[in-house]
């Protein structure tokens, strides 16, 4: 039995999430099925059915022994949540947990963890170019930009130079050692020096920011009036994107990006009852230290027509093209 199978997964912010969206009823879509924690909690709280979506085939392999017990109350879909409106419509609720699944972190062979040696992979879908491909094929400037924009790592140029000099890279501990050599030793209580670099590469490999922008718009299309969207984020960029999306589409632009161009007032597509994000309480922090950076935002769909929104308005990390061209977002190849 693997570590992922032996370690119970604790869904982050599950108690405040269920409290915020109660009473739960109807059909919900869990866009990040993972270990099934949110799906089971929604069913226990009163959902008639949950559509569980995940791009990682391992999620459904691990759930096979318990999903069947729910019969047609659970429908599983192998796919990405950026297309969630293709998997369900007129939904009562959508839940997105943007953190990396514990089953992915715990399995060394998936290549997400800098604490376990394994192939430098990081692909959630187990398909397409890997983190090793990115480290070995991207030029130094592109690597530096990815590490800085997606990991908010100040030493990005130094790290990118060291990665290029060490090519070819094939394992997680090889990369972690390279990053450690570029940064001061972490003090007690500080995160591992490789944390931000691994985060940046994972985001690039899986196009996580692009998925989030598209997923928020897909949720707006899929939810019926009165339907609820609950999003759990784990770092500032994700939370900023969710916050600005809801601000812009709820008609509240007072605190939106001051550098973004002015946009015409729109009919609010969302109602936000709690402006401030919900974080973990002391009990959850004691139970699950991983929850310390988590934030939950909840919004209620109105009957206004769904509309697309420019991802640039959401604060998605972008890099100016040379010569003053349009901003571009780094995706994997």
- Which residues, including other chains, have CB under 8 Å from residue 251's CB and lie 6 or more apart? 265, 266, 267, 268
Which residues are documented as binding site?
Answer: 36-38, 54, 81, 97, 104
Q: Give yes or no for a contact between 61 and 37, defined as CB atoms under 8 angstroms apart.
A: no
CA distance 332 to 206: 7
Which residues are documented as binding site for S-adenosyl-L-methionine?
Answer: 36-38, 54, 81, 97, 104
Cis before 23? omega within 30: yes
- Closest among 51, 46, 41, 53 to 26, alpha carbons compared: 46
Backbone angles phi, psi at 38, to 5 degrees: -70, -40
**Structure tokens of 318?**
């972008």
**Structure tokens of 207?**
């196009």
CA distance 285 to 302: 34
Backbone angles phi, psi at 295, to 5 degrees: -135, 140
Q: Give yes or no for a contact between 209 and 329, defined as CB atoms under 8 angstroms apart.
A: yes
């Amino acid at each position: 039995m693997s570590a992922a199978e032996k370690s119970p997964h604790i869904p982050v912010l599950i108690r405040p999430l269920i409290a915020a969206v109660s009473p739960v009823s109807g059909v919900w879509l869990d866009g990040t099925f993972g270990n099934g924690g949110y799906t089971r909690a929604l069913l226990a709280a009163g959902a008639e059915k949950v559509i569980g979506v995940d791009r990682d085939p391992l999620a459904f392999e691990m759930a096979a022994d318990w999903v069947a017990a729910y019969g047609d109350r659970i429908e599983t879909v192998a796919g990405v949540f950026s297309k969630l409106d293709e998997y369900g419509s007129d939904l009562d609720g959508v839940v997105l947990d943007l953190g990396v699944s514990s089953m992915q972190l715990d399995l060394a062979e998936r290549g997400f963890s800098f604490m376990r040696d394994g192939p430098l992979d990081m692909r959630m879908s187990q398909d397409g170019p890997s983190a090793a491909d990115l480290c070995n094929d991207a030029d130094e400037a592109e690597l530096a930009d990815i590490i800085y924009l997606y990991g908010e790592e100040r030493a990005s140029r130094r790290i990118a130079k060291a990665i290029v000099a060490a090519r070819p890279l094939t394992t997680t501990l090889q990369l972690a050692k390279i990053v450690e050599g570029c940064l001061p030793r972490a003090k007690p209580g500080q995160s591992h020096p490789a944390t931000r670099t691994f985060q940046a590469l994972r985001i690039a490999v899986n196009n996580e920011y692009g998925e989030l922008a598209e997923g928020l718009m897909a949720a707006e299309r899929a939810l019926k009036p009165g339907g609820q969207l609950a999003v759990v984020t784990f770092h500032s960029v994700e939370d900023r994107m969710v916050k600005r999306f809801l601000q812009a589409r709820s008609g509240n632009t007072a605190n939106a990006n001051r550098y973004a161009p002015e946009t015409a007032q729109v009919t609010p597509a969302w109602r936000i009852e709690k402006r401030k994000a919900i974080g973990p309480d002391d009990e959850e922090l004691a139970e699950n230290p991983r929850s310390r950076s988590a934030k939950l935002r909840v919004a209620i769909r109105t009957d206004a027509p769904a509309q697309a929104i420019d991802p640039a308005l959401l604060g998605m990390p972008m890099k100016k093209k040379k010569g003053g061209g349009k901003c571009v977002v780094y995706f994997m190849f």
